[in-house]
Chain A
Amino acid sequence: MANDLEAINDPGIPAHVHRKADSDPLAAKKAERQVAILFALSALGTILFIVSYVAIPEDIFVFIPVMGSTNAHQLFLGLGLAFSLFFIGMGAIHWAKTLMPDQEVTVQRHEFRSDEEDRNELVKTAKEGAAAAGLGRRSLIKRTLGLSLGLVGLSPLLLLRDLGPLPGNSLSTTSWKAGTRLVTDPGDRPIKPEDLEVGAVAQVLPAMLPGQDHRVLSDIGKDAVLLIRLRPEEFNLDAERLSWTHEGIIAFSKICSHMGCAVALYEQQTKHLLCPCHQSTFDVTRAAKVLFGPAARPLPQLALALDSEGYLVAKQPFNEPVGPSFWERSS
């Protein structure tokens, strides 16, 4: 590889340098001992593991710097297993490095491309096979085969149909109806306006229907609402939205209009709501208008009213779907 441009010649593989252990029996013996010690450490690790498993109760805690008070069972079980594995590895590698042959070997690579003769032979075989099967001539077979192969893929797809129901309008509806009471979550206690001071919040759900004894998560995922009380003069709402509030109490869907996380970080001073997942920020005083972050729509507002006993209820269902956007959503 030396021509006008290539200035330097390949000096070839450097001469093999012998290790101490190759020539000095003492060094070899020492290396052997080291390997043996490593393997023995592994055995000790296994013993530690067994002892920890049978002898250390699960409610004993030891103080370890950095980690603090730590469960001894878990810690020593883990350390025992770790040592038993780690030192087998160390021993094997040390053995390979110090005592096994360390002379590097050179072998030649072969080209991957098959030789011309084989390639031609293959083409010939393929062509002959295709001709014998009549692939070229019998176009009727070819077409019907294509059709059937194309269709056969549909069956498994159709079988997947019963994975779930069709969405219908379920993404657009919630349990909130006109007159549904707001109840605390958890606790299920109905709420009166005077229960909330200015600056207070409440996590609420719709009251359970008569006969309903537990809540389904799929419902909570659409029904969760955050109730906030401000001073009425702090609102900056149009007349309709203002009529949805009650004495400074305003309610929003807690399900983020971006990706559905629970938006419940209410900053009392700035009146901002923040979603902890992607940091969309909403302005409570302006009907949850988006101030920052990836959300494109305000949180849906729930219209409030009082029932005959003075408890807060929904004046009407949500007037738009709650939660993240979807194709069928119209606004």
Chain B
Amino acid sequence: MKRLSKYRRHRAAAPMLLVLALLAIGTTFSVASATPNKSALALARSASIEEGKQIFLKGCSSCHGLNAEGGAIAPSLIGVGAASVDFQVATGRMPMADMSTQAMRKKPVYTPEQVAALAVYVASLAPGPAIPGDELLNYERDGSVADGGELFRNNCAMCHNFAGQGGALTQGKYAPTVMGVEPRHIYEAMITGPQSMPVFSDKIITPEEKLSIIKWIKFAESEPALGGASLGRVGPVTEGLLVWTLGIGILIGVAVWLAMKAR
């Protein structure tokens, strides 16, 4: 302990601590892991409209209206389809925790069975995009990573960043990261256009192309570090931060040692 306290008073102690602290902050970049959820479509087939209606009346109607016709603070859900409900509720975005700028992804409030019932109920109000089935979502078989990357950069990267890390929109809104999002939800987002996101129609980006996008996202998610720590994959900002802290910090540390008189 005595040795340690000696170092604590060392001239280089403060800068060293600073560097360590910055390292610690740097490492807290982490990707939220998502739990895979199998066959939402199968669940939806067995769910009952009546059960969904009851859940809706209890949990959603105060904002969306008793018949999902919408209200002052929430849009109408007539015609949004099962896909929209599955995306919003199964990713925990709905019900919203508070009336902030944007519904955030969080732990879902409802079980997969309840989500399925809600989806069936909303889909029964008017036709809309359906939940994509597992057969449709076979992106491993039907997608192409290279095409997906090209499509992603053309249609998605402007908001979600080149590596799908997400980005800022106007007035505090943001495009969330697409890393760790279930393929089903990515697909649903593209066909329903949740919140700020526009719709990507099937004639504009075909279902196969959508699968290629998903395949590329899944590839980017699992791609190991080819050149070392990824620094968050947000471009030159974190690179500059690293060189101004750890980089020049180490060199100045050595310079201080170099110029110190030996005893």
Contacts and interface: CB of A to CB of B under 8 A. Distances in A.
A251 interface: no
B45 interface: no
B170 A292 contact: yes
Given A19-B262, A71-B227, A185-B154, A269 B196 contact: yes
B228 A67 contact: yes
A236 B21 CA distance: 53
Nearest to A17: B261
Given A264-B158, A268-B198, A200 B173 contact: no
A71 B230 CA distance: 12
A180 B211 CA distance: 30
Could you say which of A98, A102, A201 has the most chain B C-beta atoms within 10 Å of its C-beta? A201
Interface in B38-81: none
B199 A184 contact: no
Interface string B246-263: 000000001001101111
Interface string A263-276: 01111111010101
B227 A202 contact: no
A70 B170 contact: no
Contacts of A184: 204-205
Interface residues of A, number: 50
Interface residues of B, number: 42
B228 A74 contact: yes
B103 to A, nearest CB: 11
Interface string B141-158: 000000100110011001
Interface string B87-100: 00000000000000
A21 B262 CA distance: 9
A110 B197 CA distance: 72
Contacts of A196: 201, 203-204
Contacts of A19: 261-263
A81 to B, nearest CB: 13
Contacts of A89: 254
Could you say which of A74, A191, A228, A276 has the most chain B C-beta atoms within 10 Å of its C-beta? A276
Nearest to A204: B204
B111 interface: no
B193 A200 contact: yes
23 contacts: A17-B261, A66-B27, A66-B229, A67-B229, A69-B224, A70-B225, A70-B228, A71-B225, A71-B227, A74-B226, A74-B227, A102-B262, A184-B205, A186-B147, A186-B150, A195-B201, A196-B203, A200-B200, A201-B199, A228-B198, A267-B196, A268-B196, A268-B198
